[in-house]
Structure 1
Amino acid sequence: MNMEDYRGVWVFIEEKDGIVAPVSLELLGAGKWLAEKRKTELAGVLIGENVQELAQTVVEYGADKVYVYDDPIYRFYRTESYMKAMLACVEKYKPEILLYGATSTGKDLASAVATDLPTGLTADTTQLDVEEDTGLLLASRPAFGGNIMATILCKKYRPQMATVRPKVMKALSRNNGATGEFIHESIPIKEEDIRTKVLEIVQTTTQRIRIDEADIIVAGGKGLGGPLGFQVIHQLANTLGAVVGASRDVVEAGWIGHHHQVGQTGATVTPKIYFAIGISGAIQHIVGMQNSGLIIAINKDPAAAIFQAAHYGIVGDALTIVPMITEAFKIALGREGEVDARKV
């Protein structure tokens, strides 16, 4: 493999129902920074049906060019069709870095592409950097149960590929009217070549607010002592109109359901306000909430790692302190009306 043949940073642009996935916009922001360090171009790879208008969106969020595969066969995501398009594009234009969102679609496609290309894949990355001279991608992620951060390198093969967790990167501000190059590609593929068929799309709804969409999260950990300790978490969350979060150890202990879990094996969140109550601050938890607007930690251990990530910290017994805070908020905010995170 001649490394000099591979240039440019690419982002797989995930779309659904005519909307670009937020993680793809976030990766364009990260990709732009990597491309500028390498003095190369940033490109998006857009696959779907009737997606030409979205190509302009990709440019307005930072891409210099967009490779567009627009065909009815790509109406629904299927591994085979998308993989064939991506492989053809990579083999023709040879990027040095290729990023995917760590979504169900992104992880499926990335792993399929990696099995065919002579290269590796770093999964669930939370930090990205690149060596300016060598172009070596530094893809970091928690490892060994979230106890350490590992930086994974692909020294001998290209492209260097990684899936990146949603909400850990920042999208650029949209530059309306930006111009870029659109390259329309196609491959000889027919419906009968695809073994998987989409028979029906079933839409489901839920009344539960997703934790990764919440403005305020009140999260609890093992420091609460047991399931009953979470009562103070729920009381504070109800007062603030917040969503309840949790650390991995309390979820594994069965104190609360998995959909509340924040961290490497849970959800990555970026609320305006994040309360970390009775949470020690393991790396796998920190990477899931470190980009919150305001982090408030309460822990009786003054040496707890969570205080290193917090903007404000209170040392003391959470079961005593949290009810006091809850009552203070009830008085300050009143019991009626919708709570605004900015007022908190």
Structure 2
Amino acid sequence: MSQLTINLEKCTGCGLCIKSCATDALHKENNKAMVNENCTLCGICIDSCPFEAISIEKENLEEVDLSLYEGIWVFAEQQKGEILPVVYELLGKGKELSLEKGCKLTALIFADEVQCNIQKLISYGADRVIFCEDAALAEKLDENYIELFDTLINKHKPDILLFGATGFGRSLAPRVAARVGTGLTADCTLLEIDKESGLLQQTRPAFGGNLMATIICPNHRPQMATVRPGVLLLQEENTSNEGEVIAVPMPTIRHNHIEILEEVLSGEINTIADAKIIVSVGRGIGSQKNMSLVHRLAELIGGNVGVTRSLVDIGWSQYENQIGQTGSTVAPKLLIACGISGAIQHLAGISNAETIIVINSDPDAPIFSVADYKVVGDCVEVIKKLIATLED
């Protein structure tokens, strides 16, 4: 196991490392720095030590024979017996990646009942479907699913494994990665194959969405990622597709620490990510009172109101309406962007909109670069004229 090591001969007891530690993992004994169980191996103390007295001793991990791993897998999550839309988005991207790598695309579907959805997965591009039907899978308990993934990954050795960044996917994927000893990139917005190395390039927002980081997993397999719903294009279904279907048994559960006592379902929620028409607004709206105009325009055209992060931060709207890397990624048929400059994290959140109308007083605003129709003018005045026209 990796651990932080302090060379007591070099340590002078200056205390700089103790001041730099955010987890109170360092203290002083006999005028020497000591480490305790709070250490997270972040490495900040190493940079703070001017005497090079601190280092991290990494465990010798067993080398993985990467040549044994092949194929792309997509976890087909179900909810109330229906496959989630993000699965079909992942299959479309998975098919594209599999053609680049010259390998098969496999869909994994585990539940108490899955038969009715198998052909649907093949229609959306899966060359093979591995399924398991078992009563233990009726309730989405990570522990039950992990055993299946562990067994199948060790047997079939996939090169790439993709999950939707749903509530369950975000819970399950890291536990699977930890069990099989590989890395995981969460909340990806872009997946590509590096033409030279053949590695999966996994791009996600970093530093609060202010920049995009591309991450690779060169030494362990499978290469794992969760992908946000709505960021990948949905490919057309082809009902003439054919594929292999493999049934697998439910393995023995090693641990069962959780018991479901009661399941309470919330009502149906229509989120901004599902909207077909969106009127999106930023700081260019001027004042909070003008938000009523935005809601009226959205009402007249049968749409939802979306906002930038800045409006959520100042309390003019709720987080569930936020669009962008740190909010929801949307793919409506029509998006009207009002008073939005077009920061990179916001543009990434609207990149899959079918038609974008931009209203902005600044003709050089970055958001105009993604516009299908451009209106240069005060967004409040333009919205008022649109409302007047629609109400006539």
Under a length normalisation based on structure 2, what TM-score does the superposition of the two structures give?
A: 0.80
Cα displacement (A) at 1:319: 1.6
Deviation of the 1:142 alpha carbon: 2.0
**Matched-pair identity in %:** 41
From 298, 312, 318, the counterpart of 2:359: 298
Query: Is the counterpart of residue 42 in structure 1 residue 109 in structure 2?
Result: no
* Inter-partner Cα distance in structure 1 for 2:270 and 2:179: 39
Unmatched tracts of structure 2, length 5 or more: 1-63
Residue 132 of structure 1 deviates from its aligned partner by 4.3
- Determine whether 1:241 maps to 2:302: yes
CA shift, 1:298, in A, is 1.2
- Compared with structure 1, are the counterparts of its residues 176 and 314 closer, same or farther at alpha carbon in structure 2 (3 Å cutoff)? same
Structure 1 counterpart SS, 2:280: strand
Number of the residue aligned with 1:64: 127
Letter in 1 for 2:272: I
Note the 1:192-341 alignment, pairs <5 A. Answer: 193-205=255-267, 209-331=270-392
Q: Deviations over 1:155-213 (max 9, x none)?
A: 111111110111111233222253211122224325x942112222222225x642222
Measured in 1, the distance between the counterparts of 2:243 and 2:289 equals 57
Matching residue of 2:159? 96
Q: What amino acid is aligned across from residue 121 of structure 1 in structure 2? A: L
SS at match of 2:237: coil
Which one of 243, 262, 269 corresponds to residue 180 of structure 1? 243
- Unmatched tracts of structure 1, length 5 or more: 332-344
- Contact preservation (8 Å) 1:251, 1:261: yes
Could you tell me how far 1:229 is from its partner in structure 2?
2.3
Contact 1:23 1:167 in 2 (8 A): yes
- The Cα of 1:300 is off from its aligned counterpart by 1.5
Say if 1:133 and 1:184 are closer, same or farther in 2 by CA, change over 3 A: farther
Report the equivalent of 1:141: 204
Instruction: Give the deviation of 1:254 after TM superposition.
Output: 0.3
Q: Secondary structure at the match of 2:213?
A: strand
Task: Please give the per-residue CA displacement for 1:98-138, whole angstroms capped at 9, x wherever unaligned.
Answer: 11001001111111112222221111111111124532001
Letter in 2 for 1:98: L
Query: Is the 8 Å Cα contact of residues 38 and 133 (structure 1) preserved in structure 2?
Result: no
Distance 2:207 2:287 in 1: 26
Equivalent in the alignment of 1:33: 96
Q: Which residue of 2 aligns with 1:55?
A: 118
Give the aligned partner of residue 340 of structure 1.
none
| TM-score of the aligned structures, taking structure 1 as reference length | 0.91
Q: Structure 1: which 4+ aligned runs deviate by more than 3 Å? A: none
- Residues 209 and 243 of structure 1 are in contact (CA less than 8 Å); yes or no, is this contact kept in structure 2? no
Q: Which structure's CA Rg is the greater one?
A: 2
Q: Secondary structure at the match of 2:340?
A: coil
Answer yes or no: is the 8 Å Cα contact 1:146–1:282 preserved in 2. Answer: no
How much is the aligned-residue C-alpha RMSD, in angstroms? 1.6
Mapped to 1, the partners of 2:81 and 2:296 lie a distance apart of 40
Residue 196 of structure 1 aligns to a residue in which SS?
A: coil
Distance 1:38 1:102, change over 3 A: same
d(CA) in 1 for partners of 2:247, 2:338: 51
Report the alpha carbon displacement of residue 44 of structure 1 after superposing the two structures with TM: 0.8
**Whole-Å separation in 2 of the counterparts to 1:74 and 1:189:** 12
CA contact (8 A) 2:94 2:105 kept: yes
Q: Distance in 1 between matches of 2:152 and 2:361?
A: 55
Number of residue pairs the alignment of both structures matches: 329
